[in-house]
Amino acid sequence: MQKRALLALAWLVPFALPVPAAAGQGDSIEWEGDFEAALAKAAKEKRPLLVSFTLDGEPANDRQWSDTYVDPKFVALSRKMVCVAGNIADHAPAGQPCPRFPGITCEQHKTVERAIRKRYLKTDVVISPQHVFAAPTGAELFRKVWEHPKADLMRGMAMAIAGRAEASSGAEAGEVADLASGERARVDRLLQEIESNNAEVRDGAFTSLATSEDARALPAILGKAKAENPDLTRYQAIHALGQKGNHGAIAPLLGFLGERDTKISIYALNSLRKIELPDPVPDILKFLKSASNDRVRAYALRAIATCHPGNPEVQKVCLAVMKTASASLEVPAMLAVFSLQPDPKVTAAVKPKLSSGSTAVRSLAAWILGRQRDPSLLPLLAKLAEEDKSLEVREIARKTLAYCRGEEVPNYERLSSTFYWDEDLAEVGWGAGGEGPRGGGGPMRAKRRS
């Protein structure tokens, strides 16, 4: 199942999904059933909040219950926080305790979901699993979007807890201190390494700092992205922020758009694309209206299509640009269209491109049409695979034909690398097909819903 798949109305089939047996009260997280009451409790007791967004029926989400939330160390750390969970599914009859969130009912975690969505999420898309770490005031400190290793979440908990009154007492104080001090020591080392004259050492340090919960990390990277630094250092710093789910980097990256150095805007837009969250899309759409450089517009299109592929306005803008694009913008615009969710409007807009005199454009058109997986397109793709004058196009068409039939085609999303290279991103040694050695996705799967 693709990570963009909508939740298949699982919440309309109550109790159909298996759930773990309810743990004893001392072995489970103490979930709060009322968000406003949780905020008041956090403020009164000076405890940070752990805010959880989950969905049912998908492995990355289900692992939160089967592994993360039942881990004794995780539970112990959670007791130094105030924990709230939003989930829209029913796991028990009305009024009965929820087996997935011990201590509260399904009505409560559904009500909490609406409240925390309004407070912490500003878009019409919920990506889960997602954990927001907030101060006792309710103000967001940082968040972990998509699935993260349990150890990362516990380190985040420790960093949120450290220095607060509750952190200095109880059996878990040592665990908090060890995790927090370990992260501070790691960041101390990385802050030294970003000063290195060795570009590889510097790049690795930037990448490690980019998702650290330490309050010093992001300002250090942004400091190296300022205009007084060498161009390569600036590009490396901005590039490092482009890690999937890196929510805290979105606002700083948007601030780089429109800089006099065109490549700064390009690197910022590509990092926003790699973060793959919908939050920056309204700002990028606004930026597109004033952007005149086709190279910059190309990366803006790819960013909005990747970050919010099902958004009607994003689809409208990408298709409109593709239809009227200059020669320099046509191919990048088609790369953006590929990222859009399959739709008859996409098919109708792309079909005319099959008659282009450009080998790259015909190949891209076949690639996009294959992704639609529309049986009515099979004869068209079969004809292209047999009759196109270019061997390259025929080879791509055969792969797209197989994909359109529902067959597995390894690395289908990267087929464009055979005829497109992001030359604007070459300074830091990546760019083939828009992706580099690190790739564009994380190691774990998750779900989003509209």
- Interacting residues of 10 by C-beta distance below 8 A, sequence separation 6+: 16, 17, 55, 56, 57, 89
pLDDT, average across residues 335-342 = 97
Is residue 195 very low, low, confident or very high in pLDDT (cuts 50, 70, 90)? very high
For the chain, residues classed under CATH 3.40.30.10 are 10-161
Q: Which token pair is 366?
A: 């076949």
For residue 18, pLDDT beyond 90: no
pLDDT tens for each residue of 99-122: 999 999 999 999 999 999 999 998
d(CA 378, CA 374): 7
- Interacting residues of 318 by C-beta distance below 8 A, sequence separation 6+: 301, 304, 305, 333, 336, 337, 340
* Location of structure tokens 């009227």: 324
Q: Which token pair is 146?
A: 């998509």
Cα angle 11-150-71, degrees, rounded to a multiple of 5: 80
Whole-number pLDDT of residue 421: 77
- Sequence length of the chain is 450
d(CA 301, CA 298): 5
Whole-number pLDDT of residue 166: 55
d(CA 357, CA 20): 59
Whole-number pLDDT of residue 172: 58
Exposure string of 320-344, with b = 16+ CB inside 10 Å and e = fewer, is ebbeebeeebbbbbbbbbbbbbebe
Q: Is the dihedral of CA 15, 20, 26, 30 positive or negative?
A: negative
Where does residue 9 fall: left (phi above 0), alpha (psi -120 to 50 degrees), or beta otherwise?
left
> Could you name the CATH architecture of 10-161?
3-Layer(aba) Sandwich (3.40)
3-state secondary structure of 308: coil
pTM: 0.86
d(CA 262, CA 280): 19
For residue 446, pLDDT beyond 70: no
**73, 105, 270 from 350: Cα distances, Å:** 53, 49, 24
* Location of structure tokens 């030359």: 423
Whole-number pLDDT of residue 308: 97
Strand partners of residue 133: 50, 142
Q: Which token pair is 385?
A: 């695979």
Is residue 123 very low, low, confident or very high in pLDDT (cuts 50, 70, 90)? confident
Cis omega (within 30 of 0) for bond into 20: no
Contact call for residues 309 and 338 (beta carbons, < 8 A): no
Contact call for residues 50 and 82 (beta carbons, < 8 A): yes
* Location of structure tokens 């060890």: 178
Whole-number pLDDT of residue 417: 84
Is residue 423 very low, low, confident or very high in pLDDT (cuts 50, 70, 90)? confident
Q: Which token pair is 121?
A: 């999420």
pLDDT tens for each residue of 32-46: 999 999 999 999 999
Whole-number pLDDT of residue 426: 80
Whole-number pLDDT of residue 443: 32
Exposure string of 428-448, with b = 16+ CB inside 10 Å and e = fewer, is bebbbbbbbeeebebeebbbb
> Helices 199-209 and 231-240, interaxial angle, to 10°?
30
For residue 306, pLDDT beyond 60: yes
Strand partners of residue 132: 51, 143
Q: Which of 143-157, 332-346, 362-376, 418-432 has the lowest mean pLDDT?
A: 418-432
d(CA 387, CA 366): 13
d(CA 331, CA 354): 13
- Mean pLDDT computed over every residue of the chain: 88
Is residue 2 very low, low, confident or very high in pLDDT (cuts 50, 70, 90)? very low
d(CA 313, CA 185): 45
